[in-house]
Every structure is written in C-alpha cells, then in structure tokens.
Structure 1
Amino acid sequence: MEISTAAHNLTGTNSADQESPGLDQDLPSLSLEETIEKILGGFGWSQFIQAILVAILGFFDAQQTFINIFADADPKWHCNFNTTCNPSSNICQLPKGAWSWDESSHKTIISEWGLECASSFITGLPASSFFVGNLIGGFSLATLGDFYFGRKILLFLSCLIMCFASLITAFSMNIWMYSSLRLLSGFGRASITTCTLILLSERVGKKWRGQIGTMTFIMFSLGLLCLPAVAYLNKGSSWKFLYLWTSIPAILYCIIAYFFVYESPRWLFTEGRDIEAKAILRKLASIEGNSLDSYLSSIHHGQEISKLNPYKLMKDLFKRRWALQRIIATMVFGFGIGLVYFGLLFGVRNLGFNIYLGVILNASMLIPTNLVTLFFIARWKRKGSLFALCIISGICSIICGVVGSRTEGILIGFELASFFCAALAYNVMMIFVVELFPTNVRNSATTLVRQAVVFGSVFDPILTSAGTRNKFLSFGTFGLTIFLCSFIVIILPETRGKNLCNTMDEQERMDHKIV
C-alpha cells in the first residue's frame, strides 16, 4: 500500500526532502536500524491501519481474561417462606427447600453445579487455572516469536487457541473439565499481549513507538469495558452463552485479519528474509519516491543479522550480566504490578457494590489511563514515572485495606486511584521492557516479564477470597507488594528516545557508548 499525500501532510514530512536529488546518489553508510528508522520514521495511513488490525486482538484478550468474574460469580439467593431462614443465614446450614436462587440456576457455574458450599480453592480453581495456563504457555512459546513462527504467526495462533478453547468451554460438564479448558485457553493467551505490543512497536520509528504501543492497551480496556455489557445482556441466560458470544466473533476476526496483517520487517531481517522485509518496508514506508528506493537499495546482505541458535541466544540473555540484571529487575517489578492490576479487578466483588457497576468503574479508569499514556509517553522518562506511579498505587491500596466497609465512597475512591496508577504503570512498563532488549531476544525477554505479571495474578483468587473476611489480607497485600517492588526500577537504564537494537552485541555497544 502506498502512502497517500494526505498521510505525508499529517506526519509533517517535507515533500521537498523526499525528492531531494542528493538521495538518488549513494547514501552514507547507515546501520540497518538507522535505515529502517529513515523509512518508517514518519507515520502514514498504512502504519495506522496495520496498528488497528493488530491492536483489536487485545479487545478479545481482555474479555477472555476476565470472563470468570461473571461466569464464576456467586449468584444472589432469597429465602422461601420458611421461618428458619433469613437473609443473614449461612446458605450451607439451611435445608435446600428453605431458599432459592434469585435468577436461573444456570446463570453461573456456582448455581448450575451446586458449588455454593464448595471451598474457595474449588470455586477459584477456574480463574487460577487460566493464569497457570498463562505461565505454562509463556515458557513454552517464549522463543517461538523470536526464532520459528515470528511475531505474526505466533500472535494469531495464540489467539485461535485461546478462543477455540473458550468456545469448547461452553460445553463443559463439570468443574474439572471447565478448569482444564480454562487452563488451555490461558495457555494460548500467554503470547497475545507480548506479540501485539512487539509487532506494533517494530513497524514504526522511535518517535511513534510509545504511542502506537499504547493502542493495544486501549483495545484491551475497551474489551474489558464491553464485557459487563455483554454479561448484562446475558443476565437471564446460562453462563455458557457468555462464552459463545465472546469467542465466536474473536475466531472469525482472527481468521480474516491474518491475511491483511504484515510481519515485522525487523524480525524478517534477523531471519535473513531480506526480500520479504524490503517488500513490507515499501508497504509501510512513511516516505516514497526516489528517497524510498535509495534507502531500500542501500540495505545490503552485510546489514542482515546472522541467524543464531535460539537456545544459545536465550543462554546469552542470562549469561551477560547487564541482560541478567535487566531480566531479574523487570520480572520482580512485573510481579508487583501483576498482583495489583489483576487483583483489584477480581477483588471488585469485595467492595460491596453491584458487580456490573464495579467492573464498569474499573474498566472506565483504563480509558483515561490509556489516553494519558498515549499523549505523554513520548515525554515521560520511564524510570521516574514507574517509580512514582507504583508508590502512589501502593499507598492507595493499603488505605483500602485499612478503611472500614461503612465508608464505601472513600473505599471505592482509593481503590480506583490505586487501579489507575497500577494500570498506567503497567502500560509504561511494557513499553519500557520492549525498549530494554534487542530484536533477536525481545519477544523472549518481554514474555518472561509477562510471565512474572501472570505469576503475580495467580495468587489473586486466593487473596480475593481471603479479602471477603479481612480486606487487609487482599488490598493490604497488594499495596505492600507493589510499594516494595517499585524500588528495583532504580537499577535499570533510561530508554526514552533511544534507538532499538537488533543484537545483544549491538545493545551492549550502545549501552557502553551512552555510559
């Protein structure tokens, strides 16, 4: 797709510069990254459309991640005309005929399978299984996006696994089958956020990297915001329809969009597939004419990155001191953010509010969060903003654990403030991680950090269950964890405005040059 004149005007590209006679001659020697930066440095319509096509997958990701909030909820019940029953009674100590569900017994898995008196481990098993699947999938698929499948194929394969598993989940016969399918869905989902963010970031120049990376968070928040609406429309029906309504559109979109999405040209160069990479650069280019031809012709075989054994590169990632330090620091940091980010969303039922309203309020906070990230990420230093956001989120969450249930207005206010800061920190952290590691290990490194985020979320169903009796066990734990984890960001380098590197050696040389 050629970039239109209007797109060039939008990006502020000078047409005179594009047709400069000097660019028809031999160009000064540029590195591969510098050449790609020249070609993709602006932002045209082709890049924008491609970004939308990829970012929409985050919409479906959000719905499958948090669908358990509604499908696994404890339904409301009422007393039948029986003198031994009152609303404050323990439902497990009442005879079956003394009470009834307010709505259909098929509304959630709790009422359909008679799990109202089951342990918190059993009722929380499906949600925990999903995140355990995330952990398994992340470690299993981590290297495939860097070496075998690439960003595009792994992204769509992951989404299809997630959605097909979700579709089959609607036909579950018991809690064990249901939990197993949720684990499989989580396994597929493990690479979606990572591949989406990397594919978006690698197809634009450094000027637009932060803003375009934010698009996946915007779509994720829209997916979460729409989930309560879908659940409300399904209010009188079985939980199975909720899975059908969210999985079928996602499967259809994945199949159609696959044929229109381009692979990352940076990754193609690392694989030695220069012809394909140049063809995609031509389609995505923010310049045209003689300038584009000159830059493309200046890319020669010597600029390509030699193909290395994936396990050697992964070993190198842990062998080099600077890389190991970055991996450990970002994983610790990710654990703290993951515990709070997902914990506050799943813990909304402990606030005493309507579950639909509670999820909508939290999801609504993601809209301003993503807008703030979109407009200010280019100006913010990564380290300082992350540290400040996590400190504020931790303090607000701790206050939620201390404030009594009677002050519901104050409680929801601090909870939303904590979630806002944690969500904003999550956005900045993911962009920060992409910038910290070179192309040939970027997917693997980012996946490991995502695994730390998921590992934090595995504990959330347990903490949320404990929070029904004592809020500090959930909100207090969330706050203390993110507060303490925030200090490790101090040892990481600042990356704002820096070029992306393609190899470990190149990253090391650039870091030493900056120092």
Structure 2
Amino acid sequence: MAADDPLLCSFTDPESVAPVIGKKSKPTSLDDTIEHCIGELRWTQFFQSLLVSCAWIFDAQQCFISIFTDSDTAGDLHPVKSIISDFSLQNASSLITGLPASSFFIGCLAGGILLTTLADSSMGRKNMLFISCLFTSLSGLLTIVSTNIWCYSVLRFLCGFFRGTIGTCALVLSTELVGKRWRGHAGIVGFLCFAIGFLTLPAIAYLNRGSSWRMLYIWTCIPNLFYCLLIHFLVHESPRWLFVRGRKDEFISSMKSLAPASYGITSSFFSAVTFEEEQQQNVDAFSAMKILFAKPWALKRMLAVMSSGFGIGMLYYGMPLGIGSLGFNVYLGVTLDALSELPSLLVVFFLIDKINRKSLMIVFTSLGGLTSIGCVATELIAGENNDNKHIFKMVMQLVSFFSACTAFDVLLIYTLELFPTSVRNSAVSLVRQALVFGGVFSPLLVAVGRKDGGFVSYVVFGISIGICGLFTMWLPETRGEVICDTMDEEERKTAFCVSY
C-alpha cells in the first residue's frame, strides 16, 4: 500500500480531508476506507462491541446447562429433580439419557450452517444475532413444559438450532465495529464473556439446588429476553456488511454514529468509494463454501482445521459434562473448569504474537490428551484406597480442560489468518461446526462412562484431541504474515512461499 495514498492521511484535521476525498482516489480495500473513521477505539465503539460480546454469556449457559439439568444423581450436589428422576429414566440406556444433550449439539450444527447464510445475505449480523438470542431464549423457556424425554429432546434441538449462530455473529459483529488494531482484543472480550457465562452457571444451579431443573431454564432464559431488547434498540449494524450489500444510506448513518462528529461525514465524504465494485466481491455462505472446497490448498487447510476442531470440541464440551463420573462435587468442579478459561485467555493474549500457531496447537492438544487419559489412569496407578487420588484427578481434569480452552481460542485465531477476507466468515463458521460436531458425541460418551468411572469417555477424549491436533502440522505458519483479502491473493502468496 503506497504511503502517499490520499486516503491514508490523518483525520486529525477534518477540513484537510475534504480536498483529498474530492480527488476521488480509489481505496485499495474496504478496510482502508472504514479504518479512517473507526480506526481508533472510542467509547461508542467500545460500548457497542462490549454489548454484542455479552451474547456469549447466554450462549455459554445454554451450552453447559445440561451438566445440571440432565444429571442422573439427585441430592445436595444436584437439583432435587433432574430430568432423569422427573422422567423416570433411572434404568434407561446411555443412548436415551444422553439424547437431549446430543440433540442440542445436533441442532447447533444445523443452525450454524443454515442460519449463517442469512447473516451474510438478507438479515445481516445484528438482526441475526437478535433473532438467534430471542428464539434461543423462547425455546429454552418452552423446555420447562416438557413431560417426557422425547419432547425435551426436541426442544433442546430447537434451542441448539437457534443458538448455533450466536457465537459467530457476535464475534464477527463485535470485531467489525472496531478498527483493525482492536479486532483481536474485541474477539478476546467475547471469549471472556463466554467464560463469565460458564462461571455463572454453577452459581445459579447452586442457588436453585433445592428446586426442579426447570428453574435453571427460567433463570438463564428470562435475562436473555431483556438482553434481546438491548441488542434491538442500542446496537448498530456492521458498517462493513451494509457497505458490501450496497446499502449506502444505512452505511453512512452507521458510520456517523461510530465516527467523531468533527469528521462531518456525509454522502460526499464517501464519494470516492464505489459501492457496486465492492458488492461484486460479496458471496453468500454456500458460494464461499464451494470456493473453499474447489481450491486444493484451501481444501487441505479446511480439512486440517476442521479435524483439529472436532477433537478439541469433543474434549472441550465433554470434560465438564463428565465431572460427575470422576466423583467430584459437581458445583466445585464446574466452577473450577469455568475459572480455568480465564488463565487460558491470558495465555493466548500474551503468547499469540510470540509463539508459532502450529507449536501452540500441537503443545496444547497433546497436553490436553495426555492429562485427559491421566484423569482415569490415576485411578489405576494410585489404587482405590489412596486418599490423594481425587486431588490428582482434579488437577489432571483442570489441566486437560485448560489445554482444550487454549487450543480452542488459538484455532479460531489461526483460522482467521489462514483464509482471506472473502471466505473468512464461512471458514470460521465451518470450524465452529466441527467443534460442535465433536460435542455431539460427548454426551453419549459421558453417559457410557458413568458406568465405569469415566474410563472409556476420558480415554476417547484424550486420544481424539491428541491425534486430531497433529493435523495442524500440515498447515502453513501465519504468525507475522500478511493477511490477504481474496482467494487469488492468498493463492499467489502460497505459491510464492512454496517456490522459496
């Protein structure tokens, strides 16, 4: 990018900009145009991005709520009536007891694929986030009227279906409301909100430990309804999405709300920008997926990151669900798991720019796999009468979950860098679906593991994440590399790197 490009001038003197814009120099990219107006983080942008990121709180609660509602143990450690006791499933097979949680993750898969097209095309990021949060909450509230396992499983599927796109929409919208410099920070804020939602869940469950499982859905879904109102009335649509859809008036209105008033943004301010040319580069999710799988280099990368995501998702979603199998206090165990997300974020924050992505992925997936197997291997090594075995098992479980959390965050960042802007949203969506697909099998494995102290489930979790993490060895390193905008740019860069 040329240093004397007129659109790269400072906006500290708004009046000096007008003559430059009047020259109608063509910007090199959409990012360059928007960056001038929202490149510096201001309170308006910070509030918008933070409010959008809060969607992860309710996302996490619905994701892990079955730890308490679907437990097969009644008493002080669980709600007095879980679905197991309420629906008389004490003697039911593992397939039946694990069906509701698996149905939720299957719904997440379906919703994540189908609803993503609406976020990229007609609905936009804000409206899709609002609709997803609203119907996730409503389907969660409807769950309380379930009278049998089949009705409950159907409603959990619907909840997962509408929940499937919340994380992607929140991540994309929160990062598109700020400049390039702050996108990484905005993404980490979203991960932090997910950890907060996970952390509040055992607290809500503990306060309702003398009540029915239905109360957990009430306490987690009603606040989400109020949050939907905040999204609808206070959050702006992504200026990038409005731009590429050719909605010029709405784009300018959105930019006015985000940029300082001193810039005096009007239609003439963006006269140098050709909306039609940007629109031609826009593709919907299905078209982008076809492009991803048509290019051999892109297909190789996509399969590698999705394979890694599958193994990580199996352990990440399965570890908290299986805490009861290890003989832990479920409230303490889930709380410690949620707290382990916080140091995971710090590790990613400080190491992501210092250590290669491939190295981070291989180290943390291998560590997660070894410690997952160590959770149940401790039982065999220490013996049944060893008083310290529970401490060792807890340490192993926490390290394993911490490793999965770290690998989860690194994988999403790695995926953002591996694919160009034109297909990046679809690539991230596919990786998230691979993570969720791993979660589909977790409840079934946990249900099987309840009969043997978690041996089968934790061994499978460990082997899966360890092997799947090795697929990143075939990916190119992206730390410090230029991020491309189009598939042709990425292909030329890849060919250049191979030739040297």
TM-score by length of 2: 0.87
Alpha-carbon distance change, 16 to 146 in structure 1, aligned in 2, over 3 angstroms: closer
Contact 1:107 / 1:235 at 8 angstroms: preserved in 2? no
Deviation at 1:234, TM superposition (A): 0.9
Structure 2 residue identity aligned to 1:486: G
Q: Which residue pairs with 1:328 in the alignment?
A: 303
Alpha-carbon distance change, 49 to 495 in structure 1, aligned in 2, over 3 angstroms: farther
RMSD: 2.9
Task: Select 2:43's aligned residue among 45, 48, 73.
Answer: 45
Task: Select 2:462's aligned residue among 468, 475, 479.
Answer: 479
Deviation at 1:378, TM superposition (A): 4.7
Q: Which residue pairs with 1:454 in the alignment?
A: 436
Tell me, in whole angstroms, the C-alpha distance in 1 between the residues paired with 2:403 and 2:302. Answer: 23
- SS of the residue corresponding to residue 304 of structure 1 reads helix
Alpha-carbon distance change, 385 to 500 in structure 1, aligned in 2, over 3 angstroms: same
Structure 2 residue identity aligned to 1:186: G
- Deviation string 1:479-504 (CA, Å, 9 cap, x unpaired) is 22111112221333344456665544
- Give yes or no for the alignment of 1:253 onto 2:227: yes
Task: Select 2:474's aligned residue among 491, 500, 515.
Answer: 491
Alpha-carbon distance change, 334 to 21 in structure 1, aligned in 2, over 3 angstroms: same
Q: Which residue pairs with 1:437 in the alignment?
A: 419
- Give yes or no for the alignment of 1:62 onto 2:60: yes
Deviating more after overlay: 42-51 vs 271-280 = 271-280
Tell me, in whole angstroms, the C-alpha distance in 2 between the residues paired with 1:147 and 1:513. Answer: 34
Contact 1:167 / 1:244 at 8 angstroms: preserved in 2? yes
- SS of the residue corresponding to residue 298 of structure 1 reads coil
Deviation at 1:203, TM superposition (A): 2.5
TM-score by length of 1: 0.85
Equivalent residue runs for 1:112-511 within 5 Å: 112-285=86-259, 289=263, 296-301=270-275, 303-306=277-280, 310=284, 311-404=286-379, 406=386, 407-468=389-450, 469=452, 471-496=454-479, 502-508=485-491
- Deviation string 1:165-202 (CA, Å, 9 cap, x unpaired) is 10000111111111110011011111111111111222
Deviating more after overlay: 319-328 vs 214-223 = 319-328
Tell me, in whole angstroms, the C-alpha distance in 2 between the residues paired with 1:295 and 1:436. Answer: 34
Alpha-carbon distance change, 103 to 382 in structure 1, aligned in 2, over 3 angstroms: closer
Q: Which runs of 5+ in 1 are unaligned?
A: 1-14, 78-101
Deviation at 1:309, TM superposition (A): 6.0
Alpha-carbon distance change, 494 to 44 in structure 1, aligned in 2, over 3 angstroms: farther
Structure 2 residue identity aligned to 1:110: I
Number of matched pairs: 477
Contact 1:392 / 1:421 at 8 angstroms: preserved in 2? yes
Tell me, in whole angstroms, the C-alpha distance in 2 between the residues paired with 1:510 and 1:305. Answer: 24
- Deviation string 1:5-33 (CA, Å, 9 cap, x unpaired) is xxxxxxxxxx9861287644326643122
Structure 2 residue identity aligned to 1:322: W
Deviating more after overlay: 276-285 vs 47-56 = 276-285
Contact 1:137 / 1:187 at 8 angstroms: preserved in 2? yes
- Deviation string 1:382-412 (CA, Å, 9 cap, x unpaired) is 3332222212222222222311164111111
Alpha-carbon distance change, 279 to 222 in structure 1, aligned in 2, over 3 angstroms: same
Q: Which runs of 5+ in 2 are unaligned?
A: 1-8
Contact 1:33 / 1:502 at 8 angstroms: preserved in 2? no
- Give yes or no for the alignment of 1:19 onto 2:13: yes
Deviating more after overlay: 215-224 vs 289-298 = 289-298
Tell me, in whole angstroms, the C-alpha distance in 2 between the residues paired with 1:298 and 1:319. Answer: 34
Structure 2 residue identity aligned to 1:47: Q
Deviating more after overlay: 22-31 vs 356-365 = 22-31
Q: Which residue pairs with 1:97 in the alignment?
A: none
- Give yes or no for the alignment of 1:30 onto 2:36: no
Structure 1 residue identity aligned to 2:458: F
Structure 1 residue identity aligned to 2:67: I
Deviation at 1:510, TM superposition (A): 5.8
Deviation at 1:47, TM superposition (A): 1.7
Alpha-carbon distance change, 266 to 507 in structure 1, aligned in 2, over 3 angstroms: farther
Structure 1 residue identity aligned to 2:465: I
Alpha-carbon distance change, 411 to 309 in structure 1, aligned in 2, over 3 angstroms: closer
Alpha-carbon distance change, 39 to 293 in structure 1, aligned in 2, over 3 angstroms: farther
Contact 2:126 / 2:173 at 8 angstroms: preserved in 1? yes
Contact 1:105 / 1:112 at 8 angstroms: preserved in 2? no
Q: Which residue pairs with 1:7 in the alignment?
A: none
Contact 1:152 / 1:262 at 8 angstroms: preserved in 2? yes
Tell me, in whole angstroms, the C-alpha distance in 2 between the residues paired with 1:306 and 1:249. Answer: 41
Alpha-carbon distance change, 19 to 244 in structure 1, aligned in 2, over 3 angstroms: same
Contact 1:285 / 1:292 at 8 angstroms: preserved in 2? no
Structure 1 residue identity aligned to 2:403: C
